[in-house]
Chain A
Amino acid sequence: MNTADQYLKTIYVVQDSEDGPASTGSVADALGVSPASANEMIGKLEERGLAEHEKYKGVKLTDDGIVRARDALQTYCIIERFLANVLAVEDFQAEARELEAVIDDTVAERLDTIIDRQPECPDCFDPESDACACLEIAPEPVEPEQQ
Protein backbone atom coordinates (compact mmCIF):
# COMPACT_ATOMS: atom_id res chain seq x y z
CA MET A 1 0.00 0.00 0.00
CA ASN A 2 1.55 3.33 -0.97
CA THR A 3 1.80 6.39 1.26
CA ALA A 4 -1.16 8.18 -0.37
CA ASP A 5 -3.39 5.17 0.35
CA GLN A 6 -2.23 5.04 3.97
CA TYR A 7 -3.23 8.71 4.30
CA LEU A 8 -6.61 8.15 2.63
CA LYS A 9 -7.35 5.21 4.94
CA THR A 10 -6.38 7.25 7.99
CA ILE A 11 -8.42 10.31 6.97
CA TYR A 12 -11.40 8.05 6.30
CA VAL A 13 -11.23 6.48 9.77
CA VAL A 14 -10.58 9.81 11.53
CA GLN A 15 -13.39 11.67 9.73
CA ASP A 16 -15.71 8.80 10.55
CA SER A 17 -14.84 8.87 14.25
CA GLU A 18 -14.94 12.70 14.41
CA ASP A 19 -18.18 12.69 12.41
CA GLY A 20 -16.96 15.52 10.21
CA PRO A 21 -13.76 16.78 8.60
CA ALA A 22 -10.59 15.22 10.03
CA SER A 23 -8.27 17.72 11.68
CA THR A 24 -4.76 17.73 10.26
CA GLY A 25 -3.41 17.21 13.78
CA SER A 26 -5.43 14.02 14.30
CA VAL A 27 -4.34 12.68 10.90
CA ALA A 28 -0.68 13.50 11.67
CA ASP A 29 -0.95 11.85 15.11
CA ALA A 30 -2.58 8.73 13.70
CA LEU A 31 0.16 8.40 11.09
CA GLY A 32 3.00 9.30 13.46
CA VAL A 33 4.19 12.11 11.18
CA SER A 34 4.64 15.86 11.66
CA PRO A 35 1.69 18.19 10.88
CA ALA A 36 3.85 19.74 8.14
CA SER A 37 4.28 16.34 6.43
CA ALA A 38 0.57 15.65 6.80
CA ASN A 39 -0.28 19.05 5.28
CA GLU A 40 2.01 18.40 2.34
CA MET A 41 0.41 15.02 1.54
CA ILE A 42 -3.11 16.38 2.07
CA GLY A 43 -2.24 19.07 -0.50
CA LYS A 44 -1.24 16.35 -2.97
CA LEU A 45 -4.47 14.44 -2.33
CA GLU A 46 -6.39 17.66 -2.97
CA GLU A 47 -4.57 18.17 -6.29
CA ARG A 48 -5.59 14.64 -7.30
CA GLY A 49 -9.22 15.34 -6.45
CA LEU A 50 -9.26 12.82 -3.61
CA ALA A 51 -9.68 15.23 -0.67
CA GLU A 52 -10.87 18.73 0.12
CA HIS A 53 -9.20 20.84 2.76
CA GLU A 54 -11.07 23.58 4.55
CA LYS A 55 -9.10 26.07 6.59
CA TYR A 56 -9.69 25.75 10.37
CA LYS A 57 -11.99 22.77 9.79
CA GLY A 58 -9.83 20.00 8.44
CA VAL A 59 -9.79 17.57 5.56
CA LYS A 60 -12.67 15.67 4.00
CA LEU A 61 -12.46 12.95 1.37
CA THR A 62 -14.22 13.36 -1.95
CA ASP A 63 -16.33 10.47 -3.32
CA ASP A 64 -13.30 9.22 -5.29
CA GLY A 65 -11.19 9.53 -2.15
CA ILE A 66 -13.71 7.51 -0.15
CA VAL A 67 -13.66 4.69 -2.73
CA ARG A 68 -9.87 4.49 -2.57
CA ALA A 69 -9.81 4.81 1.22
CA ARG A 70 -12.26 1.92 1.60
CA ASP A 71 -10.13 -0.22 -0.76
CA ALA A 72 -7.06 0.61 1.35
CA LEU A 73 -8.92 -0.25 4.54
CA GLN A 74 -9.96 -3.57 3.00
CA THR A 75 -6.34 -4.31 2.12
CA TYR A 76 -5.40 -3.53 5.71
CA CYS A 77 -8.12 -5.87 7.00
CA ILE A 78 -6.85 -8.64 4.71
CA ILE A 79 -3.33 -8.23 6.11
CA GLU A 80 -4.64 -8.30 9.70
CA ARG A 81 -6.83 -11.33 9.11
CA PHE A 82 -4.05 -13.15 7.32
CA LEU A 83 -1.59 -12.49 10.15
CA ALA A 84 -4.09 -13.43 12.87
CA ASN A 85 -5.72 -16.48 11.28
CA VAL A 86 -3.10 -17.97 8.97
CA LEU A 87 0.17 -17.10 10.66
CA ALA A 88 -1.34 -16.99 14.20
CA VAL A 89 0.42 -13.72 15.00
CA GLU A 90 -0.61 -12.53 18.45
CA ASP A 91 0.09 -8.82 18.00
CA PHE A 92 -1.33 -8.77 14.48
CA GLN A 93 -2.32 -5.07 14.64
CA ALA A 94 1.25 -3.91 15.28
CA GLU A 95 2.62 -6.19 12.55
CA ALA A 96 -0.04 -5.14 10.06
CA ARG A 97 0.93 -1.51 10.61
CA GLU A 98 4.56 -2.41 9.98
CA LEU A 99 3.83 -4.47 6.89
CA GLU A 100 1.09 -2.50 5.15
CA ALA A 101 3.57 -0.24 3.36
CA VAL A 102 5.36 -3.25 1.85
CA ILE A 103 2.27 -5.30 0.86
CA ASP A 104 0.79 -4.35 -2.48
CA ASP A 105 -2.96 -4.52 -3.17
CA THR A 106 -2.50 -7.35 -5.69
CA VAL A 107 -0.61 -9.39 -3.08
CA ALA A 108 -3.34 -8.69 -0.52
CA GLU A 109 -5.95 -9.86 -3.05
CA ARG A 110 -4.15 -13.19 -3.38
CA LEU A 111 -3.89 -13.56 0.39
CA ASP A 112 -7.61 -12.82 0.46
CA THR A 113 -8.20 -16.11 -1.39
CA ILE A 114 -7.32 -18.11 1.72
CA ILE A 115 -8.98 -16.06 4.45
CA ASP A 116 -12.64 -15.69 5.34
CA ARG A 117 -13.48 -12.02 5.11
CA GLN A 118 -17.02 -10.90 5.84
CA PRO A 119 -19.13 -9.27 3.10
CA GLU A 120 -19.54 -6.12 5.23
CA CYS A 121 -15.77 -5.45 5.15
CA PRO A 122 -14.48 -2.72 5.63
CA ASP A 123 -17.51 -1.37 7.55
CA CYS A 124 -16.72 -3.84 10.33
CA PHE A 125 -13.41 -2.09 11.02
CA ASP A 126 -13.24 -0.86 14.59
CA PRO A 127 -10.77 2.06 15.00
CA GLU A 128 -10.66 1.62 18.78
CA SER A 129 -9.18 -1.88 18.58
CA ASP A 130 -7.55 -1.11 15.21
CA ALA A 131 -9.04 -4.38 13.94
CA CYS A 132 -12.01 -5.94 12.20
CA ALA A 133 -14.84 -6.40 14.71
CA CYS A 134 -15.74 -9.79 13.15
CA LEU A 135 -12.20 -11.13 13.41
CA GLU A 136 -12.15 -14.39 15.33
CA ILE A 137 -8.96 -14.93 17.22
CA ALA A 138 -8.03 -17.50 19.79
CA PRO A 139 -9.21 -16.18 23.17
CA GLU A 140 -6.53 -15.16 25.64
CA PRO A 141 -6.13 -17.65 28.47
CA VAL A 142 -8.08 -16.47 31.49
CA GLU A 143 -5.98 -15.87 34.57
CA PRO A 144 -7.40 -17.68 37.61
CA GLU A 145 -8.82 -15.27 40.15
CA GLN A 146 -6.75 -14.68 43.25
CA GLN A 147 -8.46 -15.96 46.36
Chain B
Amino acid sequence: MVAVSVSQRVASDDQLARLLQIGIVLEEVVEARAHRHYQQLDAELDAEVEALLADAAKESADHRERLEALIDGLGVDSVPFDEIESLVDARYGRTRPEDFDDVLYDQLCNEETAYKFYDDLIEAIESSDAAFSIDREELIATLTTIRDEEAEGVREVTEVMERR
Protein backbone atom coordinates (compact mmCIF):
# COMPACT_ATOMS: atom_id res chain seq x y z
CA MET B 1 0.00 0.00 0.00
CA VAL B 2 1.08 3.54 -0.64
CA ALA B 3 0.99 6.16 2.10
CA VAL B 4 -2.17 8.28 2.11
CA SER B 5 -2.71 11.81 3.23
CA VAL B 6 -4.66 12.33 6.41
CA SER B 7 -4.77 16.11 6.18
CA GLN B 8 -7.97 17.83 5.15
CA ARG B 9 -6.35 20.72 3.34
CA VAL B 10 -6.06 21.92 -0.21
CA ALA B 11 -2.32 22.13 -0.77
CA SER B 12 -1.77 23.18 -4.38
CA ASP B 13 -3.21 24.77 -7.53
CA ASP B 14 -3.55 21.32 -9.10
CA GLN B 15 -5.52 19.94 -6.18
CA LEU B 16 -7.73 23.02 -6.10
CA ALA B 17 -8.35 22.77 -9.85
CA ARG B 18 -9.33 19.11 -9.51
CA LEU B 19 -11.78 19.90 -6.72
CA LEU B 20 -13.31 22.72 -8.77
CA GLN B 21 -13.66 20.27 -11.68
CA ILE B 22 -15.53 17.93 -9.35
CA GLY B 23 -17.78 20.87 -8.42
CA ILE B 24 -18.44 21.45 -12.12
CA VAL B 25 -19.34 17.78 -12.61
CA LEU B 26 -21.72 17.88 -9.62
CA GLU B 27 -23.42 20.93 -11.15
CA GLU B 28 -23.55 19.19 -14.54
CA VAL B 29 -25.16 16.16 -12.94
CA VAL B 30 -27.83 18.41 -11.37
CA GLU B 31 -28.37 20.17 -14.69
CA ALA B 32 -28.58 16.97 -16.74
CA ARG B 33 -30.87 15.22 -14.25
CA ALA B 34 -33.12 18.25 -13.85
CA HIS B 35 -33.37 18.48 -17.64
CA ARG B 36 -34.22 14.81 -17.94
CA HIS B 37 -36.79 14.98 -15.16
CA TYR B 38 -38.26 18.04 -16.79
CA GLN B 39 -38.70 16.14 -20.05
CA GLN B 40 -40.33 13.22 -18.26
CA LEU B 41 -42.86 15.55 -16.67
CA ASP B 42 -44.26 16.36 -20.12
CA ALA B 43 -46.92 13.68 -19.81
CA GLU B 44 -48.36 15.10 -16.63
CA LEU B 45 -47.28 18.66 -16.05
CA ASP B 46 -46.98 19.94 -12.54
CA ALA B 47 -46.30 23.67 -12.55
CA GLU B 48 -44.59 23.81 -9.16
CA VAL B 49 -42.17 20.93 -9.81
CA GLU B 50 -41.57 22.14 -13.34
CA ALA B 51 -40.61 25.61 -12.11
CA LEU B 52 -38.37 24.12 -9.43
CA LEU B 53 -36.47 21.98 -11.93
CA ALA B 54 -36.15 24.81 -14.43
CA ASP B 55 -34.69 27.04 -11.70
CA ALA B 56 -32.35 24.27 -10.54
CA ALA B 57 -30.99 23.74 -14.07
CA LYS B 58 -30.52 27.49 -14.54
CA GLU B 59 -28.78 27.89 -11.19
CA SER B 60 -26.47 24.93 -11.87
CA ALA B 61 -25.49 26.38 -15.24
CA ASP B 62 -24.69 29.67 -13.52
CA HIS B 63 -22.62 27.93 -10.81
CA ARG B 64 -20.80 25.97 -13.48
CA GLU B 65 -19.85 29.17 -15.30
CA ARG B 66 -18.53 30.71 -12.09
CA LEU B 67 -16.46 27.61 -11.33
CA GLU B 68 -15.20 27.56 -14.92
CA ALA B 69 -14.00 31.14 -14.53
CA LEU B 70 -12.06 30.09 -11.42
CA ILE B 71 -10.39 27.11 -13.05
CA ASP B 72 -9.62 29.20 -16.13
CA GLY B 73 -7.56 31.33 -13.80
CA LEU B 74 -5.67 28.20 -12.75
CA GLY B 75 -4.99 27.31 -16.39
CA VAL B 76 -6.97 24.04 -16.31
CA ASP B 77 -9.63 22.82 -18.76
CA SER B 78 -13.24 22.40 -17.73
CA VAL B 79 -15.22 19.17 -18.07
CA PRO B 80 -17.38 19.09 -21.25
CA PHE B 81 -21.07 19.10 -20.36
CA ASP B 82 -22.11 16.77 -23.21
CA GLU B 83 -19.88 14.02 -21.78
CA ILE B 84 -21.51 14.27 -18.37
CA GLU B 85 -24.96 14.46 -19.95
CA SER B 86 -24.35 11.21 -21.84
CA LEU B 87 -23.04 9.51 -18.66
CA VAL B 88 -26.11 10.63 -16.72
CA ASP B 89 -28.34 9.48 -19.58
CA ALA B 90 -26.61 6.10 -19.76
CA ARG B 91 -27.12 5.49 -16.05
CA TYR B 92 -30.56 7.04 -15.91
CA GLY B 93 -31.98 4.72 -18.51
CA ARG B 94 -31.76 2.02 -15.83
CA THR B 95 -33.27 3.93 -12.91
CA ARG B 96 -36.23 6.04 -13.81
CA PRO B 97 -37.93 8.14 -11.13
CA GLU B 98 -41.41 6.76 -10.57
CA ASP B 99 -43.26 9.87 -9.50
CA PHE B 100 -42.93 13.47 -8.39
CA ASP B 101 -41.84 12.45 -4.90
CA ASP B 102 -38.85 10.65 -6.42
CA VAL B 103 -38.03 13.67 -8.52
CA LEU B 104 -38.18 15.98 -5.51
CA TYR B 105 -36.18 13.63 -3.34
CA ASP B 106 -33.51 13.36 -6.03
CA GLN B 107 -33.40 17.14 -6.30
CA LEU B 108 -33.07 17.44 -2.51
CA CYS B 109 -30.10 15.02 -2.56
CA ASN B 110 -28.51 17.05 -5.34
CA GLU B 111 -28.80 20.30 -3.43
CA GLU B 112 -27.68 18.79 -0.12
CA THR B 113 -24.68 17.11 -1.73
CA ALA B 114 -23.62 20.29 -3.49
CA TYR B 115 -23.97 22.25 -0.23
CA LYS B 116 -21.83 19.72 1.64
CA PHE B 117 -19.22 19.71 -1.12
CA TYR B 118 -18.78 23.49 -1.15
CA ASP B 119 -18.85 23.70 2.65
CA ASP B 120 -16.04 21.10 2.93
CA LEU B 121 -14.10 22.75 0.14
CA ILE B 122 -14.26 26.19 1.78
CA GLU B 123 -13.11 24.67 5.08
CA ALA B 124 -10.24 22.84 3.37
CA ILE B 125 -9.12 26.03 1.61
CA GLU B 126 -9.39 28.11 4.77
CA SER B 127 -7.30 25.63 6.76
CA SER B 128 -4.56 25.66 4.11
CA ASP B 129 -1.79 28.23 3.95
CA ALA B 130 -0.97 27.34 0.33
CA ALA B 131 -0.60 30.25 -2.08
CA PHE B 132 -2.88 29.79 -5.08
CA SER B 133 -2.43 31.54 -8.40
CA ILE B 134 -5.94 32.98 -8.16
CA ASP B 135 -7.05 35.49 -5.56
CA ARG B 136 -7.90 33.61 -2.36
CA GLU B 137 -10.52 36.11 -1.17
CA GLU B 138 -12.31 36.04 -4.49
CA LEU B 139 -12.15 32.23 -4.51
CA ILE B 140 -13.68 31.93 -1.04
CA ALA B 141 -16.27 34.64 -1.78
CA THR B 142 -17.39 32.85 -4.97
CA LEU B 143 -17.60 29.46 -3.27
CA THR B 144 -19.45 30.94 -0.29
CA THR B 145 -22.05 32.54 -2.58
CA ILE B 146 -22.54 29.25 -4.41
CA ARG B 147 -22.77 27.31 -1.13
CA ASP B 148 -25.37 29.74 0.23
CA GLU B 149 -27.44 29.37 -2.93
CA GLU B 150 -27.31 25.59 -2.49
CA ALA B 151 -28.54 26.03 1.10
CA GLU B 152 -31.39 28.15 -0.24
CA GLY B 153 -32.11 25.38 -2.79
CA VAL B 154 -32.35 22.79 0.02
CA ARG B 155 -34.82 25.06 1.81
CA GLU B 156 -36.96 25.55 -1.31
CA VAL B 157 -37.16 21.84 -2.14
CA THR B 158 -37.95 20.99 1.49
CA GLU B 159 -40.79 23.52 1.51
CA VAL B 160 -42.30 22.09 -1.67
CA MET B 161 -42.01 18.57 -0.25
CA GLU B 162 -43.66 19.58 3.00
CA ARG B 163 -46.59 21.21 1.19
CA ARG B 164 -47.32 18.11 -0.89
Residues of chain A having any CB pair with chain B under 8 Å: 2-3, 6, 10, 13-14, 17, 29-33, 82-83, 86-87, 89, 93-95, 97-104, 106-107, 109-111, 113-116, 127, 130
- With A6-B4, A31-B4, A97-B4 known as contacts, the answer to whether A87 contacts B88 (CB < 8 A) is no
- List residues 108-143 of chain B with CB under 8 A from any CB of chain A: 109-110, 112-113, 116-117, 120-121, 124
A39: shortest Cβ distance to chain B, in Å? 14
B21 proximal to A (CB < 8 A): yes
Q: In the complex, A83→B25 CA distance in Å?
A: 11
Query: In the complex, which of the residues A13, A106, A113 contacts B1, with contact meaning CB atoms closer than 8 Å?
Result: A13
A114 B29 Cβ-Cβ under 8 A: yes
Which B residues are in CB contact (< 8 Å) with A116? 91
Give me 22 A-to-B residue pairs in the complex whose CB atoms sit less than 8 angstroms apart, sorted by A's number. Answer: A2-B8, A3-B6, A6-B6, A10-B1, A10-B4, A17-B1, A31-B3, A82-B22, A86-B84, A93-B2, A95-B18, A97-B2, A97-B4, A98-B5, A100-B4, A101-B8, A104-B116, A107-B26, A107-B116, A110-B113, A111-B22, A114-B25
A97 B117 Cβ-Cβ under 8 A: no
Q: In the complex, A120→B116 CA distance in Å?
A: 28
B154: shortest Cβ distance to chain A, in Å? 12
B8 A86 Cβ-Cβ under 8 A: no
B1 A127 Cβ-Cβ under 8 A: yes
Number of CB contacts from chain A to chain B under 8 A: 101
Total B residues in contact with A, Cβ cutoff 8 Å: 33
Q: In the complex, A31→B5 CA distance in Å?
A: 7
Q: In the complex, A111→B87 CA distance in Å?
A: 11
A103 B22 Cβ-Cβ under 8 A: yes
A32 nearest in chain B by CB position? B3
Which B residues are in CB contact (< 8 Å) with A95? 18
B69 proximal to A (CB < 8 A): no
- List residues 1-26 of chain B with CB under 8 A from any CB of chain A: 1-8, 10-11, 15, 18-19, 21-22, 25-26
Which B residues are in CB contact (< 8 Å) with A33? 6
B160: shortest Cβ distance to chain A, in Å? 20
B161 proximal to A (CB < 8 A): no
